[in-house]
Amino acid sequence: MLTLNLAYVIKLTTGIFCAGALGLVLNRKNILVAIMCIELLLLAVNFNFIAFSIYLDDMFGSVFVLFVLTIAASESALGLAILTVYYKLKSSILLEPIKNNKFKI
């Protein structure tokens, strides 16, 4: 039987979530880093859902993780597609022109 130390899992997911949030807040220039930080946030939440699903012996957490992973995959694919088109137009993926809304297509 699998034993699960819930305090360890919560500490681990808190660390992953804080790393993703800190990376998202401190990122000023690169869109790819922002997308990866959002994926880290979703990974931490999914890991919590799985841990509590195992701990509570309930299936709803695992099913919810499947939905979140589906949304995260589509968000990543759409974000990278938009980024690819933007790079083809501007030859740059810097965030500053997008933040300041000073770009022309």
Q: Whole-model pTM? A: 0.76
State how far the Cα of 22 lies from the Cα of 94, in Å rounded to an integer: 19
Digits of tens for pLDDT over the chain (105 positions)?
456 688 899 999 999 999 999 999 998 778 788 888 999 999 999 999 999 998 888 889 889 999 999 988 898 889 889 888 888 887 877 766 666 665 565
In three-state secondary structure terms, 94 is: strand
> What pLDDT does 1 receive?
45
User: Among positive and negative, which fits the CA dihedral 76, 78, 82, 87?
Assistant: positive
Annotation: CATH topology of 9-100: Helix Hairpins (1.10.287)
Instruction: Break the chain into its structural domains and give their ranges.
Output: 9-100
